[in-house]
């Protein structure tokens, strides 16, 4: 199960898992675009579930996991990728934006993980992979709610790993660096911000969603069976500076 698999990072993560032999259940509030045809072209089954995480309750997320199991027959891997970001100076940050962002980027991550964890605990374990961010470590600019949520994702990853490792559930995270996606268009369109970001990346260029493929396949595989509570940075060396 991959949330936000219709485009961007989520699509790349779904395709990586499909290439490695996994069937995919997509959870998205928008049409899946080309993800479905690309996954099925790889010979894997694909099921799309529509759910708006901005409004989803814990009961909705529990039902989504149950529906995924009904459609696919089992659930071995959950990738919590879906997220939103709103940029506003902290002095003016609206409560509505704060609530929406924390709902999608943190609350939904926990309750979907909880629902998947309940299933996995009774079916010989599984893998939960959260998509964190460089702002899981840093404060950023104009993104107080996003930074707070992504810091929370790192803490949640460790907390769930502590409780669920003995149940054969691996909970880990991937922290993407600056990637060429729809979310980063405003940054890349601003010549000053774009140059400031590029000058800080040792690799010297923005990442592509496909750069996350190796990390997600590793964390979803038996090669990572003794990896718990870890975050893999895929950032062109940003955090090494």
Known catalytic residues are 146
Q: Which residues pair with 89 in a beta bridge?
A: none
Residue 8 neighbours by CB under 8 Å, 6+ apart: 179, 181, 182, 183, 209
- Alpha-carbon torsion (177, 181, 185, 186), positive or negative: negative
∠ Cα 216 73 35 (to 5°)? 45
Residue 222 neighbours by CB under 8 Å, 6+ apart: none
- Nearest CA-CA partner of 219 in 111, 106, 80: 80
First to last CA, the chain: 34
Phi-psi region of 61 (alpha: psi -120 to 50; beta: other; left: phi over 0): alpha
């Amino acid at each position: 199960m991959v949330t936000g698999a219709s485009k961007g990072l989520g699509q790349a993560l779904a395709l990586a898992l499909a290439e490695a032999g996994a069937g995919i259940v997509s959870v998205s509030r928008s049409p899946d675009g080309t993800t479905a045809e690309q996954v099925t072209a790889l010979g894997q089954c694909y099921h799309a579930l529509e759910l708006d995480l901005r409004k989803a309750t814990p009961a909705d997320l529990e039902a989504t996991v149950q529906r995924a199991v009904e459609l696919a027959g089992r659930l071995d891997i959950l990738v919590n990728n879906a997220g939103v970001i709103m940029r506003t100076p902290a002095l003016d940050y609206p409560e509505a934006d704060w609530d929406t962002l924390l709902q999608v980027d943190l609350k939904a991550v926990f309750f979907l993980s909880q629902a998947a964890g309940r299933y996995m605990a009774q079916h010989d374990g599984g893998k939960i992979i959260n998509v964190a961010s460089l702002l899981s470590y840093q404060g950023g600019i104009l993104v107080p709610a996003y930074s707070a949520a992504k810091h929370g994702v790192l803490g949640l990853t460790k907390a769930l790993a502590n409780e669920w490792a003995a149940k054969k559930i691996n909970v880990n995270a991937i922290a993407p660096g600056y990637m060429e996606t729809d979310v980063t268009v405003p940054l890349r369109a601003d010549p000053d911000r774009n140059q400031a970001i590029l000058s800080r990346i040792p690799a010297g260029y923005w990442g592509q969603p496909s750069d996350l493929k190796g990390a997600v396949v590793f964390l979803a595989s038996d090669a990572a069976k003794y990896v718990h509570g870890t975050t893999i940075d895929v950032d062109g060396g940003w955090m090494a500076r």
